[in-house]
Structure 1
């Protein structure tokens, strides 16, 4: 029933023959930029510091490696066929350009289950419901019921000043009865909506529904705190339906590499970017030593936190914007288990368990259901919790994930096999998960980077309002391709403005 991904027509006109474009960064934005520019005849070279493409679009699998600042090199020992997405893991149904490129590049997609009422809320604390796992559906339906009951009482007793007719008020009351599952007396009592303690079966086994959690207990146990309610049901980008690439999100990067792989120099770490009268000159180091490349135009997709450490001759406004850029601290850990106990024992297929401790979230895989083994995300945290976790040694991160996770799933300690953790803010070529802006920095620093600094253009998710999403990389790539092609076409005297 989902409409097909649109063609998303993109047909800039021009002949780029004879023009060189140097692209810094072999992530999704950099490779997509090269992919589109080469269609127009431009000569492109991509400099990528890592020995792999994709940037933060990275799926950890057997043999994957990463070296964070202050920590030893880490190499994944996951079994063949096991993986987890260390970077982006979800594609919203309304990110049409991402869906378009998956279709154009032949990357198959599958449903990503982002919302699972059978997962848990776990609140550490001293409340009556603290330190125990509570089904998401129990909290949702209990709170929905109590809030509907309170509002029903207010409306039915004329306690609210509503500009509604008598008939309209009755319709609102009917809605609240249905929304909250209120009984004949318009009170909230537990129902099958929140699940069974004994499932319905044959004969006289009608099933048993537990009593609802008391409203006061839910509140005092912290289960109504923002830790739990700032979640997928309400966030635009996280609303179902969502997708993922079959076999790992790095399949998207791999598909792009097949198109532009001959243009990529891996292990090429940029050290300086200098605008010249005739173009741009970039210095970098590789396995053979110091190197230099020049081009007519440079498109820089390097994260701003990394770019701030490089030598350049940008204008003061651009330099200030780069130096004051802010990226989120975030980290993930993948835990491989001998068996998929979350499915076998607890019937959890995909979705997220939310906590108020340092784990923040546990993600259950939305792939390979009912197979023998699996990798779940033992934590996905942000800001202070991510900094705290990132400062731990690799083995202590694993211990934290197992200790806190075992409070929810005691099977952890018996079934655990291997782990691999990533703190993006400590990963040298990223230095953060994604760009963060305030309304003030959007007006100042962000706008300073929207225009090219002479021959250098800036691109990437940080140059969009789609921060943290692959869509930001794709949209930025198309935007910068349009700008560069319009500029060079004008110089050639064949200018015909084409919007992205």
Structure 2
């Protein structure tokens, strides 16, 4: 069970939680802060060397902008893995997925490898699973701009189909209910009640309606409710297929028998009492599709989300940048004589270490990894090394990851789970025949469908919801005519994901299949070639996104975030001052859009601005966004 069953519970415990952090106003007249992107001047970084640690979207964006803006810098990206992209991972047949044996950041051993074995019937598109990011909101203009610029084709991602299902063990006898039925029956009953009580409701002084306008407003509200809830002319809610030959049905909630030659048979109206008793909105994220980030239209790159990093990596290479794969950074130090960073990289399969030197270092690693990478001289107390506020903020992040119960303001949760800075999240992928959700073909001899599918509208894309551990099932949003399709068979967070991450792969897949059977036994049995990924176990990543609420109470955590977002200079003993900022952290972990690729891009743009005009600080956030609202969609 998730920590919070409903948004009501969440807001009661977190009254100050915000989905989007309010940015402080940028000072226009002074050069203290800026919230606008500032481009580098051509040649501004001539003969400078920039090392970028990590080739996630944030690191690749930084590399691309340094090169595209003709800064003159020599840009090298060091990537520990044998691929670019970080958490942006698409899996295809023949790929091998290997988690670490546990979620420890350091000294963990490889776990059991999984080979992707998706089948590709003749005529089908190449199957793939987006194991990381799976959708791009239309509000993420920076990412969409880059994809257009790089000629990456996108297609619509279906977040919600009214044909999707909602299943709860203790609601409606455990039967999976069609989304449209719950949605529109609820709207109908609410509209029915508002219609009847319109006069009384509008006389509430808090609404500020002039009393001499009450009669008009009542008529207008009642008219609205008829449209909103599909009421009849008398303001009553009653579904009907309508008069044969006339378009007068009340059918938003669906049918028991689909219309065709005849008018069809409308699904029975669920009583308002049964809807309330079911608590269909609790623990199911039923209304997530209407939250801002998930509202239509959403997109996905054609052929897999990894087209994002491939495009960036190609651009970096074309512009003269270097990306070195299989190059895990072991240590970052500072050379006082040369005034350069020394970055030590181990060579896979040997004990040898290669030393790189750089004037600027940009880290796209998850911040807790820096605890084992940054040298003592950079992090020592006092003036030496990084700026004091930067060091203090990094230490706060380390506490949130390694000893979170010691974070300022820590409050034990009722369920006794202790969240860390790097959030837990797991996914499961399956391949199956599409007829299991898109419906069986019509029998040419009888011209009809199977009896079990009479009244069932096929599912084309979208998400089905449950209060069980799998939380959600994503249906493919493309290639609808293919024989087979790849589904996301589980996507969970927090305590559930933590528990799943400790399970063997086979046990996770078994649980995912058993929970899928609750939607439909045949559907669950038909799921094949499963894959499971716990992001907290993935090497060099160890989490789904940054959970800043683990750092401490709101004001304290926000201050640490703002300190890190500025980057840091290095102390110079001779001048007793700090250099201009030359060490930066990027990624969605240091953005107001945690868990989203757009956030990683925004963080990179801010670093470019800081390099372009180091005397200007990044606009601080007044309050941090809560990733439970921004990513998990409570």
Question: Given the two structures, how large is their TM-score scaled by the length of structure 1?
Answer: 0.90
- 411, 429, 439: which one aligns with 1:344: 439
Deviation at 1:441, TM superposition (A): 5.0
Q: Is the Cα contact below 8 Å between 2:54 and 2:80 reproduced in 1?
A: yes
- 538, 546, 570: which one aligns with 1:427: 538
Q: Name 2:255's counterpart in structure 1.
A: 196
Q: Name 1:110's counterpart in structure 2.
A: 155
Q: Name 2:601's counterpart in structure 1.
A: 474
Deviation at 1:174, TM superposition (A): 1.2
Deviation at 1:331, TM superposition (A): 1.1
Q: Does 1:144 align with 2:184?
A: no
- 205, 215, 223: which one aligns with 2:272: 215
Q: Name 1:322's counterpart in structure 2.
A: 397
- Judged with a 3 Å threshold, the aligned counterparts in structure 2 of structure 1 residues 281 and 387 are, in CA distance, closer, same or farther, namely same
Deviation at 1:310, TM superposition (A): 2.9
Gaps of 5+ in 2: 1-35, 102-110, 121-125, 240-249, 380-387, 402-420, 441-456, 570-581, 620-634
Partner of 1:362, secondary structure, is strand
Q: Name 2:88's counterpart in structure 1.
A: 57
| CA distance in 2 between partners of 1:317 and 1:92 (Å) | 35
Deviation at 1:74, TM superposition (A): 2.1
| CA distance in 2 between partners of 1:441 and 1:160 (Å) | 44
Deviation at 1:169, TM superposition (A): 2.2
Q: Is the Cα contact below 8 Å between 1:156 and 1:173 reproduced in 2?
A: no
Q: Does 1:252 align with 2:308?
A: yes
Q: Name 1:436's counterpart in structure 2.
A: 547
Q: Name 1:180's counterpart in structure 2.
A: 229
Q: Name 1:282's counterpart in structure 2.
A: 343
| CA distance in 2 between partners of 1:327 and 1:143 (Å) | 38
| CA distance in 2 between partners of 1:497 and 1:310 (Å) | 26
Aligned pairs (5 A) from 1:262-273: 263-273=322-332
Deviation at 1:114, TM superposition (A): 0.8
Q: Name 1:224's counterpart in structure 2.
A: 281
| CA distance in 1 between partners of 2:203 and 2:193 (Å) | 12
Q: Does 1:294 align with 2:357?
A: yes
Q: Name 2:17's counterpart in structure 1.
A: none
Partner of 1:67, secondary structure, is strand
Deviation at 1:402, TM superposition (A): 1.0
Deviation at 1:63, TM superposition (A): 2.6
- Judged with a 3 Å threshold, the aligned counterparts in structure 2 of structure 1 residues 179 and 498 are, in CA distance, closer, same or farther, namely closer
Residues 83-135 of structure 1: per-residue CA shift (max 9 Å, x gap)? 0111111111111111110011110011111121110111112x4x1411111
- Judged with a 3 Å threshold, the aligned counterparts in structure 2 of structure 1 residues 485 and 79 are, in CA distance, closer, same or farther, namely farther
Partner of 1:194, secondary structure, is coil
| CA distance in 2 between partners of 1:9 and 1:108 (Å) | 26
| CA distance in 1 between partners of 2:591 and 2:141 (Å) | 15
Gaps of 5+ in 1: 1-7, 491-495
Q: Name 2:118's counterpart in structure 1.
A: 78
Tell me the matched-pair count: 480
Q: Compare 459-468 and 221-230 and name the one that shifted more.
A: 221-230
Q: Compare 245-254 and 222-231 and name the one that shifted more.
A: 222-231
Q: Is the Cα contact below 8 Å between 2:586 and 2:604 reproduced in 1?
A: yes
Q: Name 1:3's counterpart in structure 2.
A: none
| CA distance in 1 between partners of 2:94 and 2:467 (Å) | 33
| CA distance in 1 between partners of 2:618 and 2:236 (Å) | 61
Q: Is the Cα contact below 8 Å between 1:339 and 1:415 reproduced in 2?
A: no
- 164, 168, 171: which one aligns with 1:123: 168
Residues 111-166 of structure 1: per-residue CA shift (max 9 Å, x gap)? 111121110111112x4x14111111001101111122222222234685153322
- 371, 386, 397: which one aligns with 1:308: 371
| CA distance in 2 between partners of 1:10 and 1:96 (Å) | 18
Q: Does 1:386 align with 2:497?
A: yes
Q: Does 1:37 align with 2:66?
A: yes
| CA distance in 2 between partners of 1:206 and 1:432 (Å) | 52
| CA distance in 2 between partners of 1:69 and 1:475 (Å) | 30
Q: Is the Cα contact below 8 Å between 2:393 and 2:560 reproduced in 1?
A: yes
Q: Does 1:14 align with 2:42?
A: yes
| CA distance in 1 between partners of 2:154 and 2:76 (Å) | 30
| CA distance in 2 between partners of 1:338 and 1:137 (Å) | 24
Deviation at 1:279, TM superposition (A): 2.1
Residues 69-92 of structure 1: per-residue CA shift (max 9 Å, x gap)? 313122222235110111111111
Q: Is the Cα contact below 8 Å between 1:424 and 1:433 reproduced in 2?
A: yes
Partner of 1:332, secondary structure, is strand
Q: Is the Cα contact below 8 Å between 1:281 and 1:294 reproduced in 2?
A: yes
Deviation at 1:414, TM superposition (A): 4.5
Partner of 1:327, secondary structure, is coil
Residues 273-315 of structure 1: per-residue CA shift (max 9 Å, x gap)? 2234302112221224322211001001101233334343234
Q: Name 2:178's counterpart in structure 1.
A: 135
- Judged with a 3 Å threshold, the aligned counterparts in structure 2 of structure 1 residues 329 and 459 are, in CA distance, closer, same or farther, namely same
| CA distance in 2 between partners of 1:87 and 1:169 (Å) | 49
Poorly superposed stretches of 4+, deviation over 6 Å = 496-499
| CA distance in 2 between partners of 1:466 and 1:441 (Å) | 19
